[in-house]
Structure 1
Amino acid sequence: MKKVFLPFLTLLILLFAANEQANAQTPYRTAIGLGVDVGDGQSLFGPQIKHSFGGENAGNAQVLFGDHITVLGVDYSYNQRIAGTNGLSWYVGVGPQLSFIDHGKWDDDWYDDDKHWDDDDHVDFAIRPAVGLEFRIPRTPLAMHFDWKPWWNLSHGSHFEPSRFSLGFKFVLK
């Protein structure tokens, strides 16, 4: 499991070490919080961090957990404030993700006398486009987002799942 978190930890250190200043296109420079991925299939929950690289460009990293699955993902997003609003912006982005699947379970069916360990562990690679809205609550260090984030799995029986959405609740650091 240490190998899963090492790339994420490295990314966090690089993000905090960056000295670029965000301009008016992003409502903050760095925020951390909770990500929730919902839709067809199980819901996933976990920590996330978003960092502006200046202008409209931002990166988002998350580690999501579910039943027998851990998902490690990073995204690039293009962000733009919505004119005439206070703290509301839209974004579009895309990024890769790795899903570590642990299907290992004890097969104990009542009709099967052959009890055995069912081991189908594997890693899936997916691309996740995203289109969404983000709102930073004015004069507070709080932000939230909602997006449509389909899941395009490219390994182990490639498939496209359009019914996936993401919610995020963030605390703004800078």
Structure 2
Amino acid sequence: MKKLLTFTLVFFLLGLAVKAQSTYTTAVGLNIDFGEGTTLVGPSIKHFFKGPHAGLGEVTFGNNLTALTVLYQYHGEIDNANGLKWFAGIGPTVLFGYGDSSFNVRPDVGLDYKIQDVPLTFTFDWRPILNFDYETTFTAARFGLGIRYAFN
């Protein structure tokens, strides 16, 4: 029990020590959501609220589908990789199309790269779909690619 408490305390303190300050505040651009199923493309916005905490919003379109996605993301530094951060998050996606809609939960893990002295960011992430419609389904092979203009 003592080892578990010590491990938990050390893990918590290391988490507090992460100082993932973003090099930009807001970025606006394009996201491509691809993989198993329909490829969706549309505008996206990412905004850092405080420290490593960011929100991502997207409206994507493809094959008579419209997806509205909102994700919370936590960012962390990658040592000796200037401008590159990892992130993990989660959020809902609502799909509209074919006269129906569906509610999905999307975990999100990926990389965010801000080019130094250039206002561009690139993201690549794995974002599977957990669907809760008539039966619960899981689609693992979904990815996102984002290209955005960054504002300070």
How many angstroms apart in 2 are the aligned matches of 1:24 and 1:127? 25
- CA deviations 1:144-168 (Å, max 9, x no partner) are 0001100111114431000000000
The reply on whether 1:58 has 2:54 as its aligned counterpart is yes
**Would you tell me which structure has more strand in proportion to its own residues?**
2
Write the mapping of 1:40-79 to structure 2, written as runs, cut at 5 A: 40-79=36-75
2:5 aligns with: none
Question: 1:127 aligns to what?
Answer: 105
* Residue 150 of structure 2 corresponds to residue 172 of structure 1: yes
Q: Which runs of 4+ in 1 moved over 2 A?
A: none
Structure 2 length as normaliser, TM-score? Answer: 0.85
Cα deviation, residue 26, structure 1: 1.5
What is the number of residues matched between the two proteins?
134
AA aligned opposite 1:82: I
Amino acid at match of 2:68: L
Aligned to 2:87: 91
**RMSD between aligned alpha carbons?**
1.2
Between the aligned partners of 1:101 and 1:135, the Cα distance in structure 2 is 33
Gaps of 5+ in 2: 1-18
Provide Cα deviations, 1:27-64, integer angstroms capped at 9, x if missing partner.
21000010000101111000000000011100000000
Matched, 1:81 2:77: yes
CA distance in 2, matches of 1:24, 1:133: 13
TM-score, structure 1 length as denominator?
0.74
CA contact (8 A) 1:26 1:81 kept: no
